[in-house]
Amino acid sequence: MGPNIITIERQIMDAQRRYPEARGAFSGLLSDVAFAAKVIAAHVNRAGLVDILGEAGGENVQGERVQKLDVYAHETLARIAGRSGHVCVMASEEWEQPVAIEPGYPCGRYVLVFDPLDGSSNIDVNISIGTIFSIFRRVTREGPGTLQDLLQGGYRQVAAGYVVYGSSTMFVYTAGTGVHGFTLDPSVGEFLLSHEDIRIPRQGRIYSVNDANLPLADPRVGAIVDQLRRGWEGHPPLTARYAGSLVADFHRNLLRGGVFLYPAVARHPGESPKPKLRLLYEAAPLAYIVDQAGGYASDGEGPILRREPRSLHERVPLFIGSVEDVQLIEGVLRGARALPGT
Ligand code: P6P
């Protein structure tokens, strides 16, 4: 008897059987997001050919208009999920306002927010990029969803996931019962279960930070990174890995153990430090995933999952990964812990 091949659709349906009252809307939405991921993956993997096929905004050899990949990814997700009948409103990194359901399509009980293609500056240099998504239940009663449905705290998520377009395309998600990873088999166009119940080591071996930002951040962050390099209190020294692509850096640290730091940074002298990464569709979904895998995500003061978003594109400092490393960082930044060795 060969290996037990489980597709993501099979795993979603098996999970639905645990909820007798489920009517299949949640499963349908998750499956639609997985389908959109396959469509985006097919396009992303041809990105290297864009010079032959024509620059974004230009025309390719077939005379078709070549779209910027992140716009293509946005339109693919918005169209597939928006016409699924499972969502009442969406939000996207690519769209300033809430993304309404097209007229003529039914509104559903869920809300989908996403970063359609994060790190798209890495496409031209062939570094892995990713899609991040998060699903909530709607809070308004009926009709088109509103900002109130979108601005929900991370602790209210019913599912979160990401797709990493790397040496292989992986779909990783949680719906509250652990974190599961699926690898795309392009020959059959299916995501096959490859990483069941991912757990992140309590202590990391890796730290991920843009070194150039440290002199522009709270000096305690630089002091902490110095300590991470040296190791402390029975914690071995960490090695540096930074792809400059959030999903790629997060995914590696989730599997290997590690901590990713993106503190608030003062981009110009005299300016107060400002965060870069987004709360609603970057930090909060990854925080839910890492929490379900036994890790932790902090904004430097407390759990990312407890933050109530005040606006769609609100930015937040992010310290995420192995629980002991993130708790040390948060403890020092809250003044609750002295830096070890001081
Ligand atoms: P920096 C990519 O542009 C991105 O939004 C994330 O994917 C990544 O983690 C971060 O910015 C990298 O930022 O300032 O280190 O280039």
| Confidence band of 54 (pLDDT split at 50, 70, 90) | very low
C-alpha 3/C-alpha 12 separation (Å) is 19
For ligand 1, atom 12, name the residue with the nearest CA.
244
Say if CB 205 and CB 21 are below 8 A apart.
Answer: no
| Predicted local distance difference test score (pLDDT) of residue 59 | 62
Ligand 1 atom closest to 260 (CA): 9
User: Starting from the edge strand earliest in sequence, which strands make up the sheet with 296-298, in order?
Assistant: 239-240, 206-208, 258-262, 318-321, 296-298
How many Cβ atoms from other residues are within 10 Å of residue 324's Cβ?
18
Q: What is the mean pLDDT of residues 116-136?
A: 90
Phi and psi dihedrals of 277, rounded to 5? Answer: -80, 155
* Higher pLDDT pick, 122 / 259: 259
Write down how long the chain is: 342
- For ligand 1, the distance from its centroid to the CA atom of residue 153, given in whole angstroms, is 23
| Predicted local distance difference test score (pLDDT) of residue 123 | 80
| Confidence band of 238 (pLDDT split at 50, 70, 90) | very high
For ligand 1, atom 14, name the residue with the nearest CA.
210
Q: Give the CA count within 13 Å in the CB-facing half-sphere of 122.
A: 20
| Predicted local distance difference test score (pLDDT) of residue 279 | 98
Beta strand residue intervals within 176-281, DSSP E:
179-185, 190-195, 206-208, 239-240, 258-262
Burial 259-284 (b: 16+ CB within 10 A, else e): bbbbbbbeeeeeeeeebbbbbbbbbb
pLDDT tens digit string along 187-214? Answer: 999 999 999 999 999 999 999 999 999 9
- For ligand 1, the distance from its centroid to the CA atom of residue 262, given in whole angstroms, is 9
